Amino acid sequence: MNFLEKFNIKFKNKKLLSVALTHSSYANEHKGCENYERLEFLGDAVLEVTTSEYFYLHTDYKEGQMTKLRASYVCEKALATYAKEIGIDKEIKLGHGQMHNLNDTIIADVFEAVVGAIYLDQGFDVVKNYIDTIIVPYIKKNIDFNADYKTKLQELVQTGKKSLEYEIVNEYGEAHKKVFEVVVKIDDIIYGRGKGSSKKEAEQMAALDAYNKSHR
């Protein structure tokens, strides 16, 4: 699976990985299957420890600021973003009744479950490297997952009285796993690109890309 291969992770216990990707709706339809909820619980704790350690070692922030930052980078929106970036969302096993209802809550939960599974199978050092490789680039870019980057970009553009336009350039995937690709143009010049499972999400990611470029 790509979300493991790119990190050179090979599971010794493949059942753990299978469980991490199994939603309760699938488990209910397949007798003997275990769902990811217990692994999600473990992964949540591992994420908290690793992100806490990063902020402690690499910043001089006080406790309150570190707590606020950690919450931003392990919130549902953030975890779902990481999962989609590496392709975990494409591997989730859903029951027939849930097939058309894959949402960010499920995707974020599965990301936590995968983290828990890697911890059990590979140990702390490997899972820490996995998490750091995925999350630290977002931290270094100062991305605020709770921010509305479309509004931020609009405010930035208005100061220069420039035009702002979002355009869908591609969409693909099955009906319940649609991916939209959007570009954002300022005065007809492409400044940012983004992908998402909805037009709104793709526009936010494009706005984020453009906003980051404007602050380099």
| 108 shares its domain with 126 | yes
136 & 153 share domain? no
Q: How many domains does the chain have?
A: 2
Query: How many Å apart are CA 189 and CA 103, to the nearest integer?
Result: 32
Which among 51, 55, 42 has a CA at the least distance from the CA of 119?
42
Q: Are residues 95 and 153 in the same domain?
A: no
Q: What are phi and psi of 142, to 5 degrees?
A: 55, 35
pLDDT value of residue 159: 81
Query: Is the same domain home to 68 and 174?
Result: no
Helix, strand, coil share of the chain (percent; to 5): 60, 10, 25
Residues 173, 115, single domain; the answer is no
Residues in the chain: 216
For residues 23 and 66, what is the distance between their CA atoms, to the nearest angstrom?
32
What confidence score (pLDDT) does residue 176 get? 67
Q: Is residue 74 part of a domain?
A: yes
Out of 44, 89, 109, 203, the active site residue is: 44
Domain membership of residue 26 (yes or no) is yes
Of 140, 157, 184, the last residue of a domain is 140
Same domain, 117 and 153: no
Residues 101 and 195 in one domain: no
Residue 140: other Cβ atoms inside 10 A? 9
CA–CA gap between residue 50 and residue 46 (Å, rounded):
6
Can you give the pLDDT at residue 133? 96
Q: Are both 80 and 109 inside the same structural domain? A: yes
Tokens standing for residue 186: 């300022």
Task: Tell me if residue 44 is catalytic.
Answer: yes
Q: Examine residue 3 and state whether it is found in any structural domain, yes or no.
A: no
Examine the domain organization and report whether 107 and 38 are in the same domain: yes
* pLDDT attached to residue 144: 84
Q: Is the residue at 127 inside a domain?
A: yes
| pLDDT per residue of the chain (216 residues) written in tens, 0 to 9 | 789 998 999 999 999 999 999 999 999 999 989 999 999 999 999 999 999 999 999 999 999 999 999 999 999 989 998 998 899 999 999 999 888 888 889 999 999 999 999 999 999 999 999 999 999 999 998 888 888 889 989 988 888 778 999 999 999 877 767 889 999 999 999 999 988 888 998 999 899 889 878 765
Helix ranges (DSSP H) in 21-89: 24-29, 37-58, 63-73, 76-86
Verify that 106 and 192 share a domain, yes or no. no
Do residue 193 and residue 210 come from a single domain? yes
CATH number at residue 191: 3.30.160.20
> Does 2 reside within a domain?
no
What is the span of the domain harbouring residue 208?
149-214
Q: Is 1 contained in some domain?
A: no
Is 29 one of the catalytic residues? Answer: no
Assigned domain for 182 exists:
yes
Task: Please give the helix or strand (H or E) that residue 161 lies within, else none.
Answer: none
Answer yes or no: do 131 and 166 share one domain: no
pLDDT for residue 215: 64
User: pTM of the prediction?
Assistant: 0.79
| 143, amino acid identity | I
Is 28:95 a contact under the CB 8 Å cutoff? yes
Instruction: Give the burial string for 24-56 (b: 16+ CB within 10 Å, else e).
Output: bbbbeeeeebbbbeebbebbbebbeebbeebbe
* Active-site option among 112, 121, 201, 209: 112
